[in-house]
Amino acid sequence: MRLTSATLDNVNNRRMFAFVETCVDFVSTRFADVIKYRNIQLEQLRLAVKQTYEWTELAGRPSQLLTLRLICARICFGSYFMEDIRYSELQNIVNRQVDAVRLTDEDPIYNFIVEHIDDWSFDCFVENLEITWSLAASRQVIPRESPDWPSGEQIFDKLFDAETRTAFHLTDTLRSGIFQMLKDTVSPISSLQAGEQTQLLLAIAQYYDGFRCFDDPLRPRWYGVLNSEDMDVTRWQIQKVYTPEQGN
């Protein structure tokens, strides 16, 4: 049998398929509770594994082992944690893994995940849904010209004050940086059409469910919510998630 490029492609595709299934089986067992409360489907897990391997290729460190370690972190902290200023410590750990000549059995990424298990072992968005909904709704009730009308910054200050997660430490500088990061992410997407209230809801979504959660297959609650060209549909979808009985 002649070895052609098509044959080699088929071999590589089968190997990748087997690797993806191995990863999915591993995380489905190790993070079963998280996958259940987030309602992550198998196809979304497969897509996330493929995207993670592609990330290692772009980082110049294609590695199945590194992919497996990263997909664990992505499930817990969101697929875009490497772009999230809250996770600078984890980013440094990942960068050292990328730069390592050889990956050993020591897994500092998983150690970080375990250290901060209380950050991701429950549904942070649902847990804080009552307070976020009441704060956001107050902007609809109180006249904007009133001195009591809460700005986005004031609402986030209340969310920061109630924060219990330990993977990041909310200094004044980080508070300001987080709000600006989340605001900048949604502003170009929904500035004029969606309105300020929708921007706030999207910022809060990212605060609890991970940076760019609306692009994240591991966050099906939000994944693709901005894909519609009809802004009324987008607003309705976002409001639906924030309606308390729909938040889980």
pLDDT per position as a tens digit, 211-237: 999 999 999 999 999 888 888 888 889
Q: Which residue, 90, 120, 150, sits at the end of a domain?
A: 120
Q: Report the C-alpha gap between 25 and 21 in whole angstroms.
A: 6
Whether the CB-CB separation of 86 and 167 falls below 8 Å is answered with yes
- Position 247 confidence tier, pLDDT thresholds 50, 70, 90: very low
Q: Are residues 128 and 240 in the same domain?
A: yes
Give the chain's domain count.
2
- Position 146 confidence tier, pLDDT thresholds 50, 70, 90: confident
Q: What is the mean pLDDT of the chain?
A: 90
Q: What is the mean pLDDT of residues 52-77?
A: 97
> What percent of the chain shows pLDDT beyond 70?
90
Q: What is the mean pLDDT of residues 80-96?
A: 98
Taking alpha carbons only, the member of 94, 115, 70, 79 closest to residue 219 is: 79
Q: What angle do CA 105, 219, 156 make, to 5 degrees?
A: 105
Residues in the chain: 248
Give yes or no for residue 7 having a pLDDT over 70.
no
Widest pairwise Cα distance in the chain: 79
Whether the CB-CB separation of 169 and 163 falls below 8 Å is answered with no
Q: Report the C-alpha gap between 115 and 109 in whole angstroms.
A: 10
Q: Which residue, 68, 86, 120, sits at the end of a domain?
A: 120
Q: What is the mean pLDDT of residues 111-139?
A: 94
Whether the CB-CB separation of 202 and 190 falls below 8 Å is answered with yes
The range of the structural domain enclosing residue 145 comes to 124-246
